[in-house]
Amino acid sequence: MNKNIIVSSADENYFNLLRELYLSAQNLKGFDFAVLNCGLSDQSKSFFIEKNIQIIETEWEFNIPQFKIRGREFLKAQFSRFYLEKYFPGYENYIWMDSDTWISCTETFNYYIQGSNNSGFAITPQVDRASPKLINIKWLMNFPTKINSINFKNISKSLSLNLAKKYAGHFTLNAGCFAYNHKFDGMKKIRANLELASRKGRIFGSDQVALAISLFENQLEFELLPSYCNWLCEHHMPKFSNEKNKFVEPFIPNHNIGVMHLAGLDEDRKTNIIHKIKTTDNKIVEKSLRYLI
């Protein structure tokens, strides 16, 4: 048993992505890997069982009304990701990774462990020089008629309009990859905010609401990592370094990307899409954004 554990989850539709995430983690040292099952087939589960990977059935952490669930059992992971020590006790650091992420650079990825050890909780905000748009504004003449953002939409539907207005212009915390230390007392506040958000509003997005309120309103101390630790390819394509054989951020110093994140790229998540990627030496290579494809 290692000190750190990476946990992810998937239903059958995301099995291939989950498998690729697991394979990308094999270059790490000092990490175990585990799966929260949200609908994998017996054949898919056997892939992990044969490798002695723990597969645990998830449960709803709170009493969620059935009309909100509507058969979407995979949404359990919205909550279970904040209760990892309940399912896998005995580790020092718990790392959650969505199944549409994979580890591109182990050295950069280890910032999550450093941040978890230093501050108790490490996560990457969705803000970067390559992704300048934080908020959508519709104008009529010289007056804004609609101001919207991820925080505004989720918080207004889950908690209150006043809080939504207060944090509409604040960055979003990407819940697709984060790490927390088993001693981090702030998890109690995050879980309380998560339960409140899920009961008052939608299940989907309640995790981001809980994180935003915990950071901005409750002022918990998080370790906020640079965007190359969790790169959203939907927002801006990375570059590729032929010299390092790694994906890197698109602007100098072209730091190695720790985690490639395919959120929003539905076709890439389904199949092998080949992209024309700029290189750091001003060439073009044809590559998939997936691992080992």
**265 vs 103: CA distance, rounded Å:** 17
**219 vs 225: CA distance, rounded Å:** 17
Tell me the pLDDT tens digit for each residue of 255-276: 999 999 999 999 999 998 999 9
Task: Please report the pLDDT score of residue 134 as a whole number.
Answer: 77
Tell me the pLDDT tens digit for each residue of 124-149: 999 999 988 778 888 888 877 877 88
Residue 62 pLDDT exceeds 90:
no
Task: Please report the pLDDT score of residue 26 as a whole number.
Answer: 94
Q: Contact at 8 Å (CB) between 50 and 62? A: no
DSSP 121-147: EEEEES-BTTB----EEEEETTEEEEE
**Residues paired with 286 in a beta bridge:** 276
Topology of domain 4-128+172-227 in CATH is: Spore Coat Polysaccharide Biosynthesis Protein SpsA; Chain A (3.90.550)
Q: What percentage of residues in the chain have a pLDDT greater than 90?
A: 72
Q: Which of 43, 76, 42 shows the shortest CA–CA distance to 62?
A: 76
Mean per-residue pLDDT over the chain, rounded: 92
**Domain residue ranges of the chain, discontinuous segments joined by +:** 4-128+172-227, 136-166, 234-288
- List, in sequence order, the alpha helices (H) in 167-265: 187-200, 206-212
Close Cβ partners of 274 (under 8 Å, ≥ 6 residues apart): 286, 287, 288
Please report, in angstroms and rounded to a whole number, the separation of the first and last CA atoms in the chain: 30
Report residue 56 CA to chain centroid gap.
20
**233 vs 288: CA distance, rounded Å:** 12
**201 vs 199: CA distance, rounded Å:** 6
